[in-house]
Amino acid sequence: MAFLFAPPAQAVIPVRGTSDLFPVRRVYGAAKNYAADAAARDAKKGFNPPIFLKAPDGIVPVQDGTTYRWPMPPHTAKMVPEFELVACLGRGGRNLTLERAQECIWGWCVGYDFTRRLAPKDRPDGAPWDLMKTLDGGAPVSAVCPAQRTKLPSAIRLYRNHELMQDSSTDLMIASPAELLVQISRYWELQAGDIVFTGAPVNVPDAEIGDLFEGHVEGVGSVKVQIVSVNC
- For 171-189, how does the pLDDT look when each residue is reduced to its tens digit (9 = 90+)? 999 999 999 999 999 999 9
Domain membership flag for residue 197: yes
> With 70 as the cut, is the pLDDT of residue 29 above it?
yes
Query: What is the mean pLDDT of the segment spanning 92-103?
Result: 98
Question: What is the overall mean pLDDT for the chain?
Answer: 95
> With 60 as the cut, is the pLDDT of residue 77 above it?
yes
Domain membership flag for residue 190: yes
What distances in angstroms separate CA 22 from CA 14, 37, 209, 215, one per listed residue?
6, 33, 31, 21
Total domains in the chain come to: 1
Domain membership flag for residue 99: yes
Domain membership flag for residue 4: no
Domain membership flag for residue 138: yes
Q: What is the pLDDT of residue 118?
A: 77
Could you tell me which residue, 183 or 77, shows the higher pLDDT? 183
Domain membership flag for residue 38: yes
Domain membership flag for residue 172: yes
Domain membership flag for residue 5: no
Q: What is the pLDDT of residue 140?
A: 99
Q: Domain range for residue 92?
A: 12-228
Q: What is the pLDDT of residue 126?
A: 64
Q: What is the pLDDT of residue 125?
A: 67
Q: What is the pLDDT of residue 122?
A: 67
For 186-226, what is each residue's pLDDT tens digit? 999 999 999 999 999 999 999 999 999 999 999 999 999 99
> With 90 as the cut, is the pLDDT of residue 79 above it?
yes
Query: What is the mean pLDDT of the segment spanning 155-159?
Result: 98
The alpha carbon of residue 228 and the mean position of all alpha carbons in its chain are separated, in whole angstroms, by 21
Beta-sheet strands, E only, within the chain: 12-14, 21-23, 27-30, 51-54, 59-61, 67-71, 78-89, 105-117, 139-141, 145-146, 155-160, 163-169, 195-197, 212-217, 221-228
For 117-149, what is each residue's pLDDT tens digit? 877 666 666 667 888 999 999 999 999 999 999
Rounded CA separation 115/120 (Å)? 15
Write the CB contacts of 19 (distance below 8 Å, at least 6 apart in sequence): none
For 48-61, what is each residue's pLDDT tens digit? 999 999 999 999 99
> With 80 as the cut, is the pLDDT of residue 106 above it?
yes
- Percentage of residues in the chain with pLDDT exceeding 70? 95
Rounded CA separation 145/153 (Å)? 14
Q: Which amino acid is at 98?
A: L
Q: What is the pLDDT of residue 128?
A: 73
Q: What is the pLDDT of residue 72?
A: 94
Question: 91 pairs with which residues across the strands?
Answer: none
Q: What is the pLDDT of residue 97?
A: 98
Question: What CATH number is associated with residue 94?
Answer: 3.90.850.10
Q: What is the pLDDT of residue 120?
A: 65
The answer to whether 114 and 80 have CB atoms below 8 angstroms apart is: yes
